[in-house]
Structure 1
Amino acid sequence: MNTTTLSVPHSRNGKQSNIPIVIDYLDDKKKSDTAIVLTHGASGDYSTGYLPLLARVLAERGYTVVRCTLVTTVINVRINAMKAVLAYLFNDQEEKAVDPAVATLRSSTSRVYIGGHSFGARVIVSIGDELKDDTESPNAKKSAGSNVKSDNSASVDEAFKNKIHGIITFSYPLHPPGKPSELRDQILFDLPEATKLLMISGTKDPFGELPLMTKTQNKIKCSLTAVRIAKAGHSLSTGKSKKTAKDTGRTQEETIYYWMAQRIEEWIKKADEGVPGEKRKRNSQKIFELIEVAVANDTFKITRA
C-alpha cells in the first residue's frame, strides 16, 4: 500500500492556511474509481483515533482514502476548508500543478464518499445539504442547513458536485452531552431526498441519546442506513481491553473498526448501483441495524440484527 502526504493550498482571511492531507491507496495498475474522504472531530487531526486503521483497511479493499486535518472549530470556516480539499482533489478542470497522486485522483475518480467523525460529521452533512438538484420537490429547502449560515459565498463546485455519491457520519453529535433539548437535527432534515446516508454511532454515545437519535433518523427524508454499535461510546469503542482474538490477533476495538470498514464497503457497493454522473433518484428507504460483539473461545464474534 502507498501513502502520500501533502498540503492542499488554501487561504483564510487573506492569509495562506494550507490543509494537511494523507492519501492511502494500493500500488495497483488498475486505478480505483471510488474515493473516500474522511475527517476528524472538533479536536485532533487525520491520525486521530480509528481513522488511520479504518483508512488502511479500506485502502486494502481497493479504495483511495483521503484523510484531512481541519484545525478550526468554527463550523463555517471548516466547511469551506473541506470544500477546498474536495475541489483540489476532484475538480478535473483544475489547472494548478499537483502531486501525481492528486493527478490520478482527478482523472480516475468518478465516485466520492465524504465522511466525518462528530464535529466533522456536522461539516460533511452541511456540505451534503448543498447537493441540491432537480430531484428535489418544489417545497424543498434551498438553504444549506437552516442553522448554519455561511460566512462567504463558497459553494460546492459544480465541476465535481456530481462525483459526491454519499455521506458517512461517525458519532453524529445530535446534541451536547446532557442537553438533549439542544438538537442539531435541521441539517439532517435538509439533506436532499436523493442523498445516500450511512450513520454509524454507539448506543452509549452521550452526544446522541438513542431514543432521540431514532426519532430524528425516522424524520430524515433521504435514504438512510443507521448502524448502532451496542455499548459503544462517542469513540465507537466498546472498551479498552487489550485482549486479542486467537484467530485474528486483533483487540475487540480493532475488531469493531475492521467490521466498520467491511460494512462501509457493503454500503458503498449498494450505493454504487447507480451510474456515475446520472441524475440521482429519490429514495427514503431506512435500514436500522444493531451490532453486538461477543467473546467466545478467545475470539470476537460480531452479530448484526
Structure 2
Amino acid sequence: MNLTAQSHSIPLSDGNRIPLLGLGTYGDPRTTPKDTALECVKLAIDVGYRHFDGALVYFNEHEVGQAIREKIADGTVKREDIFYCGKLWNTFHPPELVRPALERTLKALKLDYVDLYIVELPMAFKPGNEFYPKDQHGKYIYHHTDLCATWEALEHCKDAGLVKSLGVSNFNRRQLELLLNKPGLKHKPVSNQVECHPYFTQPKLLEYCRQHDIVIVGYCPIGSSRDASWVNVKCPPLLEDELLVSIGKKYNKSSAQVALRFNVQRGVVVIPKSFSPERITHNFQIFDFSLTEEEMKAIESLNKNIRKNRIKSELKLKLYLNVKVTVYIIMICVVMFFLRD
C-alpha cells in the first residue's frame, strides 16, 4: 500500500473512499474554550488532514463546520476533498428521530451532506431533551432499540442524499450480523468505529470485518489521557511502551507516530484527537516511513485485550447484561409453559 500525505484514502464497499488518517474533534464542552475546534480544524486542513470525526454530542459541530466552510471559501479545499463523519446518538434510535438527528448535524455544520454517518452505540437511551438521561439514583435510563428499524431509517437518509455512506460504532460481531442478515438490507455498513491500538488490536473483529468489506476505524489509536473519570488507568501508558519507543528511535519518530503507522499500515483508519497545534502536526507526519513485517508482528504481539475507554466498556457490559437477563427470562417462560398443568 503506497501511502502519502496527499494520497492515503482507501475504498469503502459502497464505492466511496475514506482517508486513513483523520482528526478526532471531541472536547469536553465544560472545559474547552470557545472556537478551539474552529481554529484546530482550520490548522489541520492546512497541515493536510481531510478527514474529520465529529458528533452532535460533542457540542462543537458548528465550529467544525465553520472551519470547513472557511477553508473552502479561501480556496484551500473543495467540499469533495473533505470527509466528515457524524454520529447518531443513543437518544435518537427510534426511526422517526433518525432523520431529524442527522438534520440537526447538517444544520450545525451548514453543509448539505455528511460523508459518513454512524450509529454511535448499539444501545439506546430514553428519547428526550436530555442526551444523558438518568434516574433519581444517577443511573442511565435505557430504552428498547430495534437496530434493524434504526438502520432502515438511516438507509432512507442515504437515499435522500443527506449522507454518502453509513456505518456503525462499537458493534461486535453479533450486532454486525444482525444488520448484515436483515431482510431487505439495501445499504450495508461500510465501517465499524471501535477502540483500536497496539494494546487492543481487535484481531478477531478485524478479520471478521475484512471478510465482509467493513473498514475498521480506530479511536484512541495512541491510547488516551490518564483521566480516571473515563479512562481505564489500570492499563499501562501505551506511549511509554519500550518496543514502540525503540522502533521510534530507529526511524527518528515518536512512539505515537509508530502506533499510528502500525494501524494505518494494516488498513485501519485512525482518528487521533488533539487540540494541540504541535500534536496535530506531529500526528500527521507518518507517511515518510514504513514498518517492516517483523516490526508489525512485534507490535501485534503487544496486544493485551484491555480497553482504555472505561465508560464505553461499561456501557457495552451493561448492554450485554441486559440482553443476558432478557434471554434468561425468555428461557424461564418457555420452561414454565411446557411444565404447566
TM superposition score normalised by structure 2: 0.35
Larger RCO: Structure 1 or Structure 2 (Cα < 8 Å, ≥ 6 residues apart)?
2
More strand per residue: 1 or 2?
A: 1
Pick the structure with more helix per residue. Answer: 2
> What TM-score results when the alignment is normalised by the length of structure 1?
0.38
Which one has the largest radius of gyration? 2
